[in-house]
Structure 1
Amino acid sequence: MEAPVKSCCVPASGRAAGPAPSLLAAGGVDDARVVDIPGGSVTLGTDTPFFREDGEGPARRAALRPFRIDAHAVSNRRYAAFVAATGYRTEAERYGWSYVFHSFLAAGTEAPSPEGTPWWRQVHGAYWAVPEGPGSTIADRLDHPATHIGWNDAAAFAAWAGGRLPSEAEWEHAAKGGDDSARFPWGAAEPDDGNALCNIWQGRFPVRNSLADGFLGTAPVDAYRPNGFGLFNTCGNVWEWCADPFRVRSLSAAAKQRNQAATAERERVMKGGSYLCHRSYCYRYRIAARSGRSPDTSAGHTGFRVAYDAGASQAM
C-alpha cells in the first residue's frame, strides 16, 4: 500500500493486498450490553473542522432509522470466544506482523518503523492475543478492547455475533449520547492532562506519558463514565471501524486526490481516536473527527464495536 502516512495515529499497513476473509454465520456467544438508539433527523460532521483534509465538515443533516449498538468496544474476552468457536485468523496473523507502539517493546527489541511515524514498530508475531508480540499476553486484559483488529476481522466478528459494523452516521449519533451538538461524548469540555475524561495521551507525545489517567495503553472497555445513551469510550481508548468507505465530501483538488487514494486502497472509516491521541499531535478524539485506512490495517490501538438492526437480537 503506497498511500502516504497522514499526520494521524493510524499507520498505513504497507501490506500487499490479499483476499478478504469470508464472513461467518451468526451463532456465537455474545455477552455485550446492547443499547437501543432512537432514529430521527441528526447532525453529522461540524462547521468548525480541525482537519479539513479529513472531511470533518461541513455539518449536514441525515435521517437515521432506530438501531442498536454495543455499549462498549468488543473485549479480548469476547474476541477469544469468537476465535475459539470459529478458528478465525486475523489479518495480523495471516500476514505475520502488526504495528506495536515503541514504548511497549522489550528493551533491545529491533523492529522497523514505517516512514514518518518512528513510534510505530513492525513486530512479527504481534496480533490480538499477543499484542506486544511473542511473550506478551492478554491474560490481565480480558476486559480491555481487542486490538490489532482490521476492518475485515471486525466485520467477520460482527456477522458471527448477528450484527454488523455501524455506519459512520450511526456511530456519530450514538457517540453524542442524545446531545446533537456535542463535541465529545460528555459534552463540550476539553480533556487535558489534568482533566482525564477519556483515555488519551498525557504529556509530550511520543516521548513522555505522564499516566495522569492511570493508563499507558488501553483501559477496560467500561472505563470512564458512559454518555447519555449508555455508551462507553466512544472517544479515546481504541479507534473503531465503521462500515463506510472513506470519502472526503469536497470538490477541491486535494479532496479529489485523497479520494482517489482512498478508493485505490479500499479505505474504511475509523472513528474515535485512541489512547495515543493528544491535541498537539492527533486531535481526532472529537466525535466529528475521522480517519481512513485500508481494511487489512491493524495496530495496537485498532478495535471496534458491533451494531444491530432495531429489533434484532445478538446471537447468544
Structure 2
Amino acid sequence: MEKFFSGKNGVGHLAVLAIVLVLVGCGQKDKEQKERTQPKVDNTQNAPIVITVPPIETPTGMVWIPGGKFVQGAKESDKMAMPHEKPAHEVLVNGFYMDEHEVTNTQFAAFVEETGYVTVAEREIEWEEMKKQLPEGTPKPHDSILQPGSLLFKKTKSSVPNLYDYSQWWQWGIGTNWKHPKGPKSTIEGKENHPVVHIAYEDAVAYCDWAGRRLPTEAEWEYAAHGGKQDAIFFWGNDLEQLSSHANTWEGEFPVENTLSDGYEERAPVMSFPKNGFGLYDMAGNVWEWTSDWYNTKYYAEVKAKSGVEYNPQGASRPYNATNPYAQEKIMKGGSFLCSASYCASYRISARMATSLDSSLEHLGFRTVLDTDMIKK
C-alpha cells in the first residue's frame, strides 16, 4: 500500500523526526451556456439540493457539478477496498463548481507573487512547536536535520519485502519545496502546467482564501469523481485494464521499477488523461488532493448508524486515528503516480488516506471548489 506515516499517508515536518528515528534505530462549457436555467432543487429527505447549473457564467477553469445522491464508501464489488472505506452510506450533496484540474505551478505562482506567501516547506522548523505533537521525552534531532524541506520519493535498488517500512523509499529533502520539487537544485521551469506539490494543508487553504474558494469536502470530492457513474469503482467504470490509459499511476514492481505504461515516471501535466463524466481531469492518480475533512476512523460507522441520508456532510467533528493519536490529520483523495495494484490501489474512487496538517510531499496537491453564494456579484 501507499501508506507510510501518520496512520495512513501523512508526512510533514513530523516526518523529519520519524524518518530519522527509523533510520537511526533501524466541450462541457458550451453545453452549460445553452442549458442555463434557474436552479432546480430535489427535496429528498426535506433537504433542498441544487442540481442544475445556476444562471451565471461558469468561472474560468471550473465545471459545474450538479448536486445529487450517491453512496459514499467502498462498493461491495471492490475487492481492493480497505476497512476505513467502509461501511458505505448514502449522502446528498449540493451542486458546486470544481476546478477541472489540479492547481498548477503557474496558478500557485500567481498567488505567491501577489501575496508574498511562504509555504510550510519553506519555513524554519520550530522544535518547541513540533514536540507538542510527539510523545513526551522524544529526543530532538540534530539541527542539521531540522531544516526546511519536504519529502522526496526514491526508488529502491531491489525488491522490498516489507511495504510498511516507508523509510525505504522516502527521504527528507532539505531545500525541497513547491519551487524546487526534486531538491534545491531543481526548478519548475518547463513544468508550469504540472500540479503544484509540496503543499501543506494551510498552504492549500491560504490559496483558497486568496482565490475566494475553498477545499472540497470528502463527500463532494468523491461524488464529483464518479462523474455520474454511481456504481463504478474507477471514474471510467469497473475495468482495471483501462488504468494506464486513464490515470498516471505506478505500473510495475513498487518501489523498484515503473514500466511507464501510462507514459510518465512522475507527475504528468494536468489534463494528460481523459476527463470523467462531469468534465474533471486527474480524479485518479497524478497527485493526491487535500479535502477539508478530518480523518476519523470511527466516522463512517457513526454516519451509517444514523437514520436517513447525510445532507452535505462536513466530515468528522474531530480527528481520530488509534494508530497515530498525536497527529492532526485531514483526508486526501485520488491517489498519485506512486499508487500501484500491489501498493494501495488508491486510484479507486472510494480510496482515502490520512495526512497530517503539516504534510508536504512530492505527490500531494489540491484543487478548489466554489459555491454559488461565494461568487462575487
| TM-score bin (small chain) | 0.7 to 0.9
1:200 maps onto 2:256 in alignment? no
- The TM-score normalised by the length of structure 1 is 0.82
Which residue matches 1:52? 82
Which residue matches 1:151? 201
Alignment of 1:106-255 (within 5 A): 116-191=166-241, 195-248=244-297, 249-250=300-301
Larger radius of gyration: 2
Which residue matches 1:40? 68
> How far did 1:165 drift?
0.2
Distance 1:52 1:174 in 2: 21
Change (3 A) 1:172 1:273: same
Change (3 A) 1:136 1:16: closer
**Number of residue pairs aligned between Structure 1 and Structure 2:** 283
| 3-state SS of 2:207 partner | helix
Please point out which of 117, 122, 141 is paired with 1:93. 122
Change (3 A) 1:6 1:226: same
| 3-state SS of 1:77 partner | helix
> How far did 1:250 drift?
4.0
Amino acid at match of 1:57: K
Listed one character per residue, the Cα deviations across residues 178-202 of structure 1 (whole Å, up to 9, x for unaligned) are 1111211111111578x43200012
Which residue matches 2:140? none
Structure with the largest fraction of helix: 2
> How far did 1:84 drift?
0.5
Please point out which of 256, 259, 275 is paired with 2:321. 259
| 3-state SS of 1:62 partner | strand
Unmatched segments (≥5 aa) in structure 1: 18-30, 105-113, 252-256
1:70 maps onto 2:70 in alignment? no
Amino acid at match of 1:64: V
| 3-state SS of 1:117 partner | helix
Distance 1:40 1:51 in 2: 24
| 3-state SS of 2:240 partner | coil
Amino acid at match of 1:301: H
Distance 1:280 1:103 in 2: 15
- The sequence identity of aligned pairs, in percent, is 40
Unmatched segments (≥5 aa) in structure 2: 17-58, 126-147, 157-163, 303-318
- The TM-score normalised by the length of structure 2 is 0.69
Change (3 A) 1:7 1:312: closer
Change (3 A) 1:65 1:258: closer
> How far did 1:11 drift?
4.8
